[in-house]
Amino acid sequence: MTTPQLDGTTHDIAPGTGLPTRALDRVGARFENALRAGARVVTLAAPWVPDVATFWPAEGDALVFGDRDLDCAGVGIARRAAATDAATMLTGLEPKVAFDDVDAPPLSAFGGFAFDAEDATDPRWASFGPGEMVVPRWTYGATRADAWIRFVTVEPLSNAEAESARLELEAAWARLLSAPARSGSAVLVTDIGQPPAEEWARHIREITEAIERGEAGKVVAARRVDVRLSGTLDPRVVLRRLRVRFPNCVRFAFRKGEATFLGATPEHLISKVGTTLRTEALAGSAPAGDGQSLLTSEKDQHEHRLVVDAIRTALEPHATLEMEAKPSLRELPNVVHLHTAIRGTLHDATHVLELVRALHPTPAVGGVPKQVAADWIATRERARYGARGWYAAPFGAFDEHGDGRFVVALRSGLLTGDSASAWAGCGIVGASEPEREYEESALKFRAFLGALEPAR
């Protein structure tokens, strides 16, 4: 195949054979010399590969975030910060160097939040904490046609450290040119453990009774299933399946030690570029192919309006908003949702993290009133199904200008070796029926659970 190189030229390379020695020596020398001269951020043109998770090594901190327009994978950590204190973490990383007229986006930090800060005390989520944003030591990014690699160091490197970084570059490049990881590609699900449906029915009835008493307008109920696998499953394999099965969703992953939180979500929380923001309301669900029932369902339309109204209330102090008068349908391979697109113009230079804090949790994952629903989830749901952790919470990236994009981490799970846990939720209003909500959550589970096994 013909593969673009760091220096902008092309060479015929068979997959897995590595770079021609002269090209690798030339580009590696330029990279090393830039680091020796004090550069702390170096961006290089790179080979394009269809799945950015190929950039991951078998072990170590790593992440993925993006879609077909811009997909990124990060390896290692140059700088980290608590998600609530991360707004200024990209400052002070000059000077920068870009080789070969690289058309790469600005330097970015990636990461996520816990749904509730208290979720971090759950042993299952202990390594993830209440939220974390990181600047990867290495980031690989790919658009539909081009790709780049970025290296970041907080402090200038010594000559020996610069030489070591050059070896890291060569190893990263070799991974891109090798075949995708297949570890655990034949692994199968051997058991799915979950509380009985009767317990879910009691949970839903308690919520609808509280709504009838006027204590809440909506509460999102989520349940967990625990999966046993026939062997150790590589998260890179799961990410590749998610990319194939859900090409119009946003993939995300965060690997900490032996555990990886990952998924493919249909729901955008917020994006901001300059003074323009975009968000959406995504609430009301039905099986794929049954979208017309949502357009006439009073229950689903009511649930959707609650989300639209809450987003408007959260964002109007920051921006002038425009939104569709009526919801449309968002079709996915396994489910269809009611969808309302929302656009806004910010009143001032607001950091995207401030907008994330204003929105989370939206009624699509929390409820109305916000605090009443949050208290219900933190007490009654947690007692039955455990902490949500990073499920249904913001996950995304922001750049040095305060622009960025965050999604809601749905259709997701926590993978650790030969076991996994997954979560799925439903918006409960007064007219909700336990059996229908159980079926809806089962539909949503299929997105993540289906990626744990080879396609049938």
Identity at 49, one-letter amino acid code: V
pLDDT digits (tens, 9 = 90+) for 407-434: 999 999 999 999 999 999 999 999 999 9
Q: What is the 3-state secondary structure (H, E, C) of 212-253?
A: HCCCCCEEEEEEEEEEEECCCCCHHHHHHHHHHHCCCCEEEE
* 407 contacts: CB under 8 Å, gap ≥ 6: 250, 252, 265, 267, 268, 269, 394, 395, 396
Dist CA 185 CA 454 (whole Å): 7
Average pLDDT over residues 244-265: 96
Dist CA 63 CA 260 (whole Å): 9
Average pLDDT over residues 244-261: 96
Dist CA 381 CA 115 (whole Å): 13
Look up 267 and say whether it is catalytic: yes
pLDDT digits (tens, 9 = 90+) for 271-303: 999 999 999 998 888 888 888 888 989 988 988
Residue 23 pLDDT grade (very low, low, confident, very high; cuts 50, 70, 90): low
CA distances from 236 to 185, 269, 331 (A): 10, 25, 26
**Residue of 32, 132, 218, 272 marked active site:** 218
Helix (H, G, I), strand (E, B) or coil at 127: coil
pLDDT digits (tens, 9 = 90+) for 92-137: 888 899 887 788 999 999 999 999 999 988 999 999 999 999 999 9
**Residue of 32, 132, 267, 381 marked active site:** 267
Average pLDDT over residues 39-49: 93
Average pLDDT over residues 387-400: 97
Average pLDDT over residues 11-40: 71
Q: Answer whether residue 16 shows pLDDT above 50.
A: no
Among 18-22, 154-158, 360-364, 377-381, the minimum mean pLDDT is found in: 18-22
pLDDT value of position 351:
97
Look up 218 and say whether it is catalytic: yes
Average pLDDT over residues 218-236: 96
